[in-house]
Structure formats: C-alpha cells, structure tokens
Amino acid sequence: MKNTLLLIVISLLTLACNKKFDEAIKSADKNLILQTANEYFAEKKWTQAIALYERLPNLVAGTDDAKTVVFNTAYANYYDKQYRIAGHHFKNFSVTFPEDPRAEEAAYMSALCYYEGSLDYNLDQANTESALNELQNFLNKYPGSERSKNINELMDELSYKLEFKAYENARQYYKMAEYKAADVAFENVLADFPSTKLRPEIYEFILRSKYELAINSVFDKKQERIESALAYTRFVEKELPGSAQSKVAVNLREKLESEKVRFLKEKVLVEEERARIAAKQKQLELEIEQKEQEKKKKDTEKENDSTAVDSLSTSQNSGATFRIKRN
C-alpha cells in the first residue's frame, strides 16, 4: 500500500513538473520563462534550465536580465558537461560585459571549459592546444588574479600532456626499430620541451637509437655513426653522472669501441679489395679502349683503300675514246 502511494505521489510530482516546464517553454512571457529557468537552475535540473534559457536571449536583449541569462546558461552547460558550449557562453559574457564584476570569473571559466575539453594524450590534442591559448590569454588579461596559480598548474598539466604525447610518438619509432626516425623525434621533444622531466629517459632512448643505428649501419656510414654514438655516450655520462643512464652509456661505449676496432680492420680489407677491383676495372677499360682504337685504325685503312680504288676506276673511265663507225 505504501509503495503504491509513493508511486502515485511521484507520478503526480512528475506531471506537475512537466506541466510547469511545458507552460514555460510554450509561453511568450519573459518573466515566466526566466523565473522557471532560474527555479530549474537552483534545483540543478540543467537540461530543463538550458532549454528555457535558450528561449530568452531575444526576449531579454537590452535589459538587465541579459547578463544573468548568459551567465547562468554558461554555468548550466558547464554542470551538464557541455564544455564547448559552456566555454562559448562564458567567453561571450566576458567579452560582451567586460565591466561586469563577474567578467574575470567568466573569462576563467571559459579557459577552464577548454581545459575540461582536452582529451587523453593518445588522442587528438587540438583541444589541448586551444586550452593552453585560452589559459595564457587569461593570464595576460588578469596578471594579478588570485586564480593565476591554479591557471599555471593547469597549463603545466596540459603542457605535460603534449610533451608526453610527443615522447610516446618517438618511443613508437624506437619500438618499430626505426632508429634514425626515433633519434630525430626524441631530439625534437627536447627542443620543443626544454624543461621536460623526461630528459633522462629521452637521453637513454637517443643513446640506444644511435647505438643500434651504428651497429646495424651500412658500411659507408658505419664509422661516422659509431663516432656519433661514442660522443653521445660521453655526453650522457657527463650530463647524468652516477645515474642509470650513465651506466648504460658506459656499457654501450665498451661495445661500440669493440665494434670500432673490428670495423677498422674490416675497412682496411674492404679498401684493399676496392683498390684491387678499381685497378682491374681501369685495366679492363684500357684494353677496351686499345681494341677500339685498333678497330678504328683498321676501319680507316679499309676506307682509304676503297677510296683509292674508286678514284682509279673513275680516272680510267674518263680517259676512254669512242669511235663512230662509218658507212
């Protein structure tokens, strides 16, 4: 019985709420719509509040209520997790009503909406970059704001997200054994984020990339790459003394030095073989050239003999006489 009564009460309340909303949404009475929207806002019924507030801009344009409508619409969308829409309304408020005491709060909330719209590091980071711009704009406009500390913390968090994404992209190159691309990508991370906390890990990946590139290099680039890798082991050891990365550098340098000795011995043999092949090739070219010259000489002599015979025949024909038989 009690359950039945409870259901009846709930049903009646729902019908009453629906009736109130329907009356307001269909009405042209500005005051009724605004009052009902504010009631739903106070009750944290964001969907109904938003629907009603959206009916008001034209009705309250030029009145004191216009500011409240924009401000509450922004917050209703924010609490409803519609961050893009909320950010638009907050920004619109701060730009349209710069003298209002809530303008700084609106500008802050606009930046915060962009922050909330930032996706995980492994997804598209266009929203993150937009959020950083909006947060920086707030600092530029309100440098003395008490919210500045929080803004700086948010910017650090977003910057790290971009940084970590770049780091993970570079690490993917390394995992795919694309060591040259990994080397370049990690160097770019250091250039783009000079204050990165991932510097030790990045140094190690660059070091290992240079090592793998040197060990597996084509012959003509191997010595240069070994020297580059050796130089980087010394750099890491100097930059991170006593660290795990420094120990890796020492270990890889020993292997690179051994590879360098082996390669230099191989290089001597290869250069000797190349010299022998080059000499043989040169000798072959000389023989071919000599044969071509001999052939050309014979062809010239043959042509001269043919010309002489043709000249003699022509001479004999021109000296002949013709006799006319007389009757």
For residue 122, is pLDDT > 60? Answer: yes
Widest CA span in the chain: 164
For residue 74, is pLDDT > 50? Answer: yes
Phi-psi region of 177 (alpha: psi -120 to 50; beta: other; left: phi over 0): left
pLDDT tier, 266 (very low <50, low <70, confident <90, very high otherwise): confident
The confidence score (pLDDT) of residue 312 equals 61
Q: What is the 3-state composition of the chain as percent helix, strand, coil, each rounded to the nearest 5?
A: 80, 0, 20
pLDDT per residue over 172-200, tens digit each?
999 999 999 999 999 999 999 999 999 99
DSSP 104-173: HHHHHHHHHHHHHTPPPTTS--HHHHHHHHHHHHHHHH-TT-TTHHHHHHHHHHHHHHHHHHHHHHHHHH
Residues in CB range of 225: below 8 A, 6 or more apart:
210, 213, 214, 217
For residue 15, is pLDDT > 50? Answer: no
pLDDT per residue over 193-225, tens digit each?
999 999 999 999 999 999 999 999 998 999 999
Share above pLDDT 90 across residues of the chain, in percent, rounded to a whole number = 60
Provide the b/e sequence for 50-65 (b: ≥16 CB within 10 Å).
bbbbebbeebbeeeee
The confidence score (pLDDT) of residue 288 equals 87
Q: What is the chain's mean pLDDT, rounded?
A: 86
Q: Are 242 and 200 in contact (CB under 8 A)?
A: no
d(CA 114, CA 117): 5
For residue 12, is pLDDT > 60? Answer: no
Domains, the chain, ranges and CATH? 26-176 (1.25.40.10), 177-283 (1.25.40.10)
- Enter the pTM of the model: 0.69
Q: Locate tokens 């917050």: which residue?
A: 75
CB pairs under 8 A, 24+ apart, for 184-192? 189/163, 192/163, 192/166
DSSP 263: H
Q: What is the mean pLDDT of residues 108-131?
A: 88
For residue 6, is pLDDT > 50? Answer: no
Residues in CB range of 196: below 8 A, 6 or more apart:
163, 167, 189, 190, 202
